[in-house]
């Protein structure tokens, strides 16, 4: 649609990129409309991960846009040169990509053409999203509306775009998933001889797994990308911001776990052997929980020593065998079984692991709906009333402490007493007037 030139702004003395519409397309009203629409779209997007638009204009039959010049290259060239990327680098680029596209979503725009050729990467892996030429405003988009012409790149557009439906933010999320897949594997998930075969592949073919192409990718990252590449828009993350938060959370969990794992230094002359679990256990997984030890396992043996608990068994599996497509479930926190009550009359030892236990309600027993709990009568249990012996606890009584008499209360009482004494002459005068005086 256009040709990009590297140029110098003579007024400001800075290097810029000039995008000029091809002369053969200037007579086509549809391309002129797209060119002007891209200028309006980019002019309203000011974000560190979006290429900045400086100026737009027309010189005779030449239409141009002056934009920020990015010192680097597009992501497609980097993928061809060094893919597959490491997980850390792919996450670093993917999070920035989600930030730029997510900002456009919040501004009411769908990029509709997210692909590595439109993602510029600087020498320090800073991402800039460009080419909003076919971006569509959400306010004028009608769901399920069929389009006569499908715009986009067949390798990256979503199934609904291939069907002619109006793209949504979920369509951009799908394209970001394809970009993540390509960064981690160096390959595209779908291939075809022409655009029609590619479109049908996005609609009909089974979703591939990243781990099938690159077993070094952790299983949970594979699950995230698999969800992003779902055929139905409702099954994906709805916006690029939501996907970005998921990737940031995943990245942070991996950093927190690996930061707390010390790396033991090999001894002199000992070769460094990689762990067989490095490809099976992802770096972001939480450390294994300690196994549950029942009171019977904790009971001392005859020699008086307690055997150490056995370490939990971990099954190492580097790849998914065969053509299996099911993911292992995310391990949940272990639920320890409640200790059932046991009837008996024998004494208890000091750690509660004697031969038997007295019948008593445990923590999982039902509490009475109303009324108070029965109290222990003193002297009826194995403990005597004086608190000695073996068995249950003695009876306790709670008494309310007496409030101490402070100085303020004493002073107030004395003032009240003086007030009563001061009223005595008044009462005597009333008595003499009404009672003692003869009538």
Return all residues near 251 (Cβ < 8 A) that are at least 6 apart.
88, 91, 95, 284
Q: 45-59 b/e with 16+ CB inside 10 Å = b?
A: bebebbbbbbebeee
Strands 127-129 and 14-21 turn out to be unpaired
Asked whether 133 and 115 are in contact (CB, 8 A), the reply is no
Which of 111, 87, 350 lies closest to 214, judged by CA?
Answer: 87
d(CA 3, CA 29): 18
Q: How many CB atoms lie within 10 A of CB 419?
A: 9
Question: Of these residues, 113, 131, 172, 222, which one is catalytic?
Answer: 113
d(CA 341, CA 343): 7
Any bridge partners for residue 18, and if so which? 5, 66
d(CA 173, CA 233): 9
* Concatenated DSSP letters of 347-367: PP-TTS-SS-------TTSPP
Return all residues near 329 (Cβ < 8 A) that are at least 6 apart.
none
Annotation marks residue 74 as catalytic: no
Point out the residues that are catalytic: 113
């Amino acid at each position: 649609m256009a040709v990009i030139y590297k140029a110098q702004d003579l007024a400001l003395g800075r290097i810029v990129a000039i995008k000029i519409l091809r002369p053969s397309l200037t007579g086509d009203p549809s391309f002129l409309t797209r060119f002007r629409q891209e200028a309006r779209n980019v002019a309203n997007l000011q974000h560190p991960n979006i290429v900045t638009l400086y100026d737009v204009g027309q010189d005779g039959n030449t239409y141009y846009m002056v934009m920020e010049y990015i010192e680097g290259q597009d992501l497609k060239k980097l993928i061809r040169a060094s893919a597959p990327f490491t997980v850390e680098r792919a996450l670093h680029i993917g999070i920035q990509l989600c930030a730029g596209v997510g900002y456009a979503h919040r501004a009411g725009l769908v990029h509709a053409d997210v692909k590595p050729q439109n993602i510029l990467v600087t020498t320090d892996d800073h991402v800039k999203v460009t080419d909003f030429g076919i971006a569509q405003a959400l306010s004028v988009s009608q769901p399920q509306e069929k389009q006569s012409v499908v715009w986009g790149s067949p390798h990256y557009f979503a199934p609904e775009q291939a069907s002619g439906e109006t793209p949504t933010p979920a369509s951009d999320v799908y394209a970001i998933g394809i970009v993540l897949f390509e960064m981690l594997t160096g390959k595209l998930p779908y291939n075809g001889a022409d655009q029609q075969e590619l479109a049908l592949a996005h609609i009909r073919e089974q979703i591939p797994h990243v781990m099938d192409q690159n077993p070094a990718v952790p299983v949970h990252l594979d699950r995230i990308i698999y969800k992003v590449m779902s055929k139905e828009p409702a099954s994906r993350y709805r916006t690029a911001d939501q996907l970005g938060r998921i990737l940031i959370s995943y990245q942070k969990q991996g950093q927190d776990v690996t930061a707390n794992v010390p790396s033991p230094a090999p001894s002199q002359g000992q070769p460094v052997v990689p762990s067989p679990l490095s490809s099976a256990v992802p770096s972001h997984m939480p450390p294994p929980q300690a196994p549950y030890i029942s009171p019977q396992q904790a009971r001392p043996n005859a020699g008086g020593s307690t055997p150490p608990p056995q370490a939990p068994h971990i099954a190492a599996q580097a790849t998914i065998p065969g053509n299996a497509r099911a993911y292992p479930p995310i391990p949940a926190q272990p639920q320890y079984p409640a200790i059932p009550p046991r009837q008996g009359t024998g004494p208890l030892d000091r750690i509660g692991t004697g031969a038997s236990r007295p019948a008593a309600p445990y923590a999982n027993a039902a509490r009475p709906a109303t009324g108070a709990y029965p109290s222990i009568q003193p002297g009826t249990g194995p403990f005597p009333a004086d608190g000695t012996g073996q068995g249950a606890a003695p009876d306790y009584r709670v008494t309310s402490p007496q409030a101490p008499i402070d100085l303020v209360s004493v002073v107030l009482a004395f003032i009240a007493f003086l007030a009563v004494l001061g009223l005595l002459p008044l009462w005597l005068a009333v008595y003499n007037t009404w009672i003692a005086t003869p009538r």
